[in-house]
């Protein structure tokens, strides 16, 4: 399951009902909903060079923590 950031829950959530879409510029994106609140989530999949380097965290800390 792809993960995305839910602005309503202010947390990373699994994207349910995820569908892959190709945008006009040829990039792929995942569109789906938050499993908790149902807010539409949209995650752009990195094409080639990732503009936003994401820290690789193999194990996300479980349990709601204060991310901010
Ligand atoms: Zn949510």
Ordered by start, the domain boundaries in the chain are: 3-44
| Cβ-based neighbours of 40, under 8 Å, separated by 6 or more | 31, 32, 33, 34
Q: How do the pLDDT tens digits run along the chain, 68 residues long?
A: 889 999 999 999 999 999 999 989 888 999 999 999 999 999 988 765 445 555 666 676 676 666 56
The pLDDT assigned to 49 comes to 46
Ligand 1: centre distance to CA 65 (Å): 15
Ligand 1: centre distance to CA 29 (Å): 18
Ligand 1: centre distance to CA 4 (Å): 10
Q: Are 29 and 43 in contact (CB under 8 A)?
A: yes
Ligand 1: centre distance to CA 34 (Å): 5
């Amino acid at each position: 399951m792809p993960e995305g950031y839910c602005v309503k829950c202010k947390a990373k959530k699994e994207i349910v009902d995820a569908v892959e879409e190709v945008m006009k510029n040829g990039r792929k994106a995942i569109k789906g909903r938050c499993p908790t609140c149902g807010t539409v989530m949209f995650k752009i999949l990195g094409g080639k060079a990732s503009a936003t380097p994401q820290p690789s965290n193999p194990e996300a800390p479980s349990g709601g923590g204060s991310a901010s």
